[in-house]
Protein backbone atom coordinates (compact mmCIF):
# COMPACT_ATOMS: atom_id res chain seq x y z
CA UNK A 1 0.00 0.00 0.00
CA UNK A 2 1.22 3.48 -0.85
CA UNK A 3 1.92 5.66 2.20
CA UNK A 4 -0.77 8.33 2.47
CA UNK A 5 1.42 11.41 2.42
CA UNK A 6 1.54 14.24 -0.11
CA UNK A 7 4.57 14.06 -2.39
CA UNK A 8 5.98 15.15 -5.72
CA UNK A 9 7.25 12.81 -8.44
CA UNK A 10 9.59 13.91 -11.20
CA UNK A 11 10.67 11.65 -14.04
CA UNK A 12 14.28 12.39 -14.94
CA UNK A 13 15.10 14.69 -17.85
CA UNK A 14 15.41 13.43 -21.39
CA UNK A 15 18.25 11.21 -22.61
CA UNK A 16 19.22 10.32 -26.17
CA UNK A 17 17.60 6.90 -25.65
CA UNK A 18 14.34 8.58 -24.57
CA UNK A 19 14.45 10.61 -27.77
CA UNK A 20 14.99 7.40 -29.80
CA UNK A 21 12.23 5.59 -27.83
CA UNK A 22 14.69 2.97 -26.53
CA UNK A 23 14.04 1.23 -23.22
CA UNK A 24 16.91 2.25 -20.93
CA UNK A 25 16.16 0.17 -17.89
CA UNK A 26 19.27 0.01 -15.75
CA UNK A 27 21.61 1.00 -18.59
CA UNK A 28 23.03 4.26 -17.28
CA UNK A 29 22.37 6.66 -20.14
CA UNK A 30 23.17 10.32 -19.26
CA UNK A 31 20.91 13.32 -19.69
CA UNK A 32 21.20 15.18 -22.96
CA UNK A 33 21.04 18.98 -23.24
CA UNK A 34 17.24 18.90 -23.48
CA UNK A 35 17.12 16.80 -20.30
CA UNK A 36 19.31 19.28 -18.43
CA UNK A 37 17.07 22.14 -19.58
CA UNK A 38 14.00 20.16 -18.45
CA UNK A 39 15.59 19.69 -15.02
CA UNK A 40 16.31 23.44 -14.79
CA UNK A 41 12.68 24.19 -15.67
CA UNK A 42 11.42 21.62 -13.16
CA UNK A 43 13.55 23.26 -10.46
CA UNK A 44 11.85 26.58 -11.18
CA UNK A 45 8.41 24.89 -11.10
CA UNK A 46 8.92 23.35 -7.65
CA UNK A 47 10.91 26.23 -6.11
CA UNK A 48 7.91 27.47 -4.10
CA UNK A 49 6.42 24.05 -3.24
CA UNK A 50 8.00 23.78 0.24
CA UNK A 51 9.72 20.50 -0.56
CA UNK A 52 11.53 19.24 2.54
CA UNK A 53 13.42 16.24 1.12
CA UNK A 54 14.64 14.92 -2.22
CA UNK A 55 15.03 11.20 -2.88
CA UNK A 56 16.25 9.74 -6.15
CA UNK A 57 17.26 6.64 -8.04
CA UNK A 58 20.97 5.77 -8.12
CA UNK A 59 21.09 5.97 -11.93
CA UNK A 60 22.97 8.99 -13.29
CA UNK A 61 20.06 10.45 -15.26
CA UNK A 62 17.89 10.65 -12.12
CA UNK A 63 20.73 11.81 -9.86
CA UNK A 64 21.76 14.57 -12.25
CA UNK A 65 18.13 15.69 -12.58
CA UNK A 66 17.84 15.80 -8.77
CA UNK A 67 21.11 17.75 -8.47
CA UNK A 68 20.00 20.33 -11.04
CA UNK A 69 16.60 20.76 -9.35
CA UNK A 70 18.33 21.00 -5.99
CA UNK A 71 20.29 24.05 -7.13
CA UNK A 72 16.99 25.89 -6.47
CA UNK A 73 15.97 23.98 -3.32
CA UNK A 74 19.18 23.39 -1.37
CA UNK A 75 18.04 20.14 0.26
CA UNK A 76 19.89 16.94 1.07
CA UNK A 77 19.52 14.36 -1.68
CA UNK A 78 19.03 10.76 -0.53
CA UNK A 79 19.74 8.01 -3.05
CA UNK A 80 17.39 5.03 -2.68
CA UNK A 81 18.50 1.91 -4.51
CA UNK A 82 14.95 0.51 -4.75
CA UNK A 83 13.99 3.49 -6.97
CA UNK A 84 16.27 2.23 -9.75
CA UNK A 85 14.50 1.64 -13.06
CA UNK A 86 13.35 -1.83 -14.06
CA UNK A 87 15.95 -4.25 -15.30
CA UNK A 88 14.63 -4.97 -18.79
CA UNK A 89 17.16 -7.74 -19.45
CA UNK A 90 17.07 -8.57 -23.16
CA UNK A 91 14.82 -5.54 -23.70
CA UNK A 92 17.43 -2.94 -22.67
CA UNK A 93 18.20 -0.68 -25.61
CA UNK A 94 15.30 -2.01 -27.65
CA UNK A 95 12.31 -0.04 -28.86
CA UNK A 96 9.13 -1.03 -27.06
CA UNK A 97 7.00 -3.49 -28.97
CA UNK A 98 5.00 -6.61 -28.26
CA UNK A 99 7.74 -7.84 -25.87
CA UNK A 100 7.18 -4.72 -23.76
CA UNK A 101 3.39 -5.03 -23.63
CA UNK A 102 3.70 -8.74 -22.87
CA UNK A 103 6.07 -8.05 -19.96
CA UNK A 104 3.60 -5.51 -18.46
CA UNK A 105 0.97 -8.27 -18.57
CA UNK A 106 3.29 -10.51 -16.52
CA UNK A 107 5.03 -12.27 -19.40
CA UNK A 108 8.59 -13.56 -19.30
CA UNK A 109 11.47 -11.53 -20.77
CA UNK A 110 14.93 -13.09 -20.68
CA UNK A 111 17.05 -11.51 -17.93
CA UNK A 112 14.35 -9.02 -16.90
CA UNK A 113 12.91 -8.49 -13.46
CA UNK A 114 9.54 -10.21 -13.19
CA UNK A 115 6.70 -7.67 -13.34
CA UNK A 116 5.23 -8.35 -9.88
CA UNK A 117 8.65 -8.25 -8.19
CA UNK A 118 9.48 -4.99 -9.94
CA UNK A 119 6.24 -3.29 -8.86
CA UNK A 120 6.76 -4.47 -5.26
CA UNK A 121 10.36 -3.21 -5.24
CA UNK A 122 9.36 0.13 -6.75
CA UNK A 123 6.56 0.57 -4.20
CA UNK A 124 9.00 -0.21 -1.38
CA UNK A 125 11.38 2.44 -2.75
CA UNK A 126 8.60 5.02 -2.98
CA UNK A 127 7.47 4.27 0.57
CA UNK A 128 11.07 4.50 1.79
CA UNK A 129 11.27 7.94 0.17
CA UNK A 130 7.99 8.93 1.82
CA UNK A 131 9.47 8.10 5.24
CA UNK A 132 11.64 11.22 4.89
CA UNK A 133 10.40 14.65 6.02
CA UNK A 134 7.77 15.85 3.59
CA UNK A 135 6.67 16.85 1.23
CA UNK A 136 9.22 14.71 -0.57
CA UNK A 137 10.32 15.12 -4.18
CA UNK A 138 11.01 11.70 -5.70
CA UNK A 139 13.17 11.83 -8.83
CA UNK A 140 12.85 8.56 -10.67
CA UNK A 141 11.85 6.76 -13.82
CA UNK A 142 8.79 6.17 -15.96
CA UNK A 143 8.32 2.50 -15.11
CA UNK A 144 8.83 3.15 -11.37
CA UNK A 145 5.99 5.67 -11.62
CA UNK A 146 3.72 2.80 -12.66
CA UNK A 147 3.83 1.59 -9.04
CA UNK A 148 2.44 4.98 -7.99
CA UNK A 149 -0.28 4.76 -10.64
CA UNK A 150 -1.30 1.28 -9.52
CA UNK A 151 -1.32 1.94 -5.79
CA UNK A 152 -2.81 5.44 -6.00
CA UNK A 153 -5.40 4.16 -8.50
CA UNK A 154 -4.44 6.72 -11.10
CA UNK A 155 -4.97 6.35 -14.85
CA UNK A 156 -2.65 3.47 -15.75
CA UNK A 157 -2.40 4.73 -19.35
CA UNK A 158 -1.15 8.18 -18.31
CA UNK A 159 2.45 8.50 -19.54
CA UNK A 160 4.58 10.78 -17.38
CA UNK A 161 6.70 13.02 -19.58
CA UNK A 162 10.36 13.65 -18.85
CA UNK A 163 11.01 16.60 -16.56
CA UNK A 164 7.40 17.28 -15.54
CA UNK A 165 6.81 17.39 -11.76
CA UNK A 166 3.52 15.96 -10.49
CA UNK A 167 2.05 16.69 -7.05
CA UNK A 168 0.19 13.80 -5.37
CA UNK A 169 -2.42 14.33 -2.67
CA UNK A 170 -3.66 11.31 -0.72
CA UNK A 171 -7.34 10.55 -0.18
CA UNK A 172 -8.97 12.76 2.41
CA UNK A 173 -12.25 12.76 4.30
CA UNK A 174 -14.24 14.13 1.39
CA UNK A 175 -12.26 12.48 -1.42
CA UNK A 176 -11.80 8.70 -1.59
CA UNK A 177 -9.07 8.76 -4.26
CA UNK A 178 -5.59 10.17 -4.82
CA UNK A 179 -5.24 13.37 -6.85
CA UNK A 180 -2.28 13.90 -9.18
CA UNK A 181 -1.65 17.34 -10.65
CA UNK A 182 1.10 18.36 -13.04
CA UNK A 183 2.88 21.45 -11.75
Question: Mind telling me the catalytic residues?
Answer: 12, 85
- Calpha distance 62→183 (Å, rounded): 18
Say if residues 35 and 48 touch (Cβ distance below 8 Å).
no
- Calpha distance 183→38 (Å, rounded): 13
Number of CB atoms found within 10 A of residue 105's CB:
7
Share in percent of the chain as helix, strand, coil (round to 5)? 40, 15, 45
Burial state string for 69-89 with b = 16 or more CB within 10 A and e = fewer than 16 = bbebbebebbbbebbbbbbbe
Amino acid sequence: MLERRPFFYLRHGETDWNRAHRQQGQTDIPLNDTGRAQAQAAGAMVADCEIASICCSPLGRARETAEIVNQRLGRTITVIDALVECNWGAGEGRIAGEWYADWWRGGFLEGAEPYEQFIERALNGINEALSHPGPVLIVGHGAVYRAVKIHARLDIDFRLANGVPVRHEPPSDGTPWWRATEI
